[in-house]
Chain A
Amino acid sequence: MWLVAQFRLQGSKVLAVDLMGDAVKARNGSMVAYSGQMSFKKLSGGGDGLRGMVTRRLTGEQMVVMEVKGQGTCYFADRATEVNLVRLNGETLYVEADNLLCTEATLHTGTSFTGLHGMTSGNGLFTTKVEGQGWAAVMSDGPAIILRVSQGMPLRVDPGAYIAHTGNLNRNFKSGAGFSTFFGEGGGEAVQIEFVGDGLVYVQPSERVTIGGDV
């Protein structure tokens, strides 16, 4: 069991991974320091193999990752964003490719179709999914807030603040643009993602600039 990479946080913005000869996949160029012996290998197409490479190219959910292998401790960080650790026990984590910092090699990554809302939210039509057993590190602008969605209590999220979700959730594009949008001023929160089902949604206290404008 000690052969498994150990994920821990060094402060809230740096991820430290203790490696014992095993490997992790990390966002290309996110290594800030390491001790011990490490080798870095760029993986094309998100490290999902040839099929994954083609899929990523086609879907635009580009993710440039590297494989880090060795003995010692490797430190990862990206633009001083907050790092959030997510433990997966067979669930699937859906995450925006831009927000995925590092995953254990035991986790499988791929792309998933998000539905048409992606187009308006500016996040693309596809999202990255991570599944298996192990740790994943997700980045957010400000510490992520984890919100539970349960039956009868749906959650609506600003697309610019959405980072990731787990569990059995349906995503619906919800236009909050009512009559008032066409009649005078816009409501400012015209596009929302509605999550229905059972699961957890990660949001950040900040909003990406989206194509949908100032939402």
Chain B
Amino acid sequence: MREKHRYILVRSSESIKALLGSGYTADTGKEFSKLINRYMLFELGDVHYSDSNPQVAAILDDKTFILKVLLKGFKDSVVGLAFINKVNNIPISFITLKSSGTIKSIKEYYKSRFAELPAQN
């Protein structure tokens, strides 16, 4: 049976570039996904992390991204994101603005509320 996913629109208080620091390369998505996974693993622990399996699905702008998680660990992921208050010694907060079962509806919501330009990725 196919596992169900949930997409979460997340806004960071700091820019992704500032969070990555020297790790900011051409493949920003991959580096940022690694960074988020590391901090989510710390907040959720091994058991809840495997229930959530968070992945950065898309970076929409300098501060906004979409996180793809398993439906089973959706609530844990939202709380885990709220509990991250430092990344690479930079004080930060991640605010979850919207969640949906499809990435398309999240992108549409983002375009209608926050962006004039079409989303990247």
User: Are A and B physically bound partners?
Assistant: no
A residues lining the B interface (CB < 8 Å): none
Residues of chain B whose beta carbon lies under 8 Å from any beta carbon of chain A: none
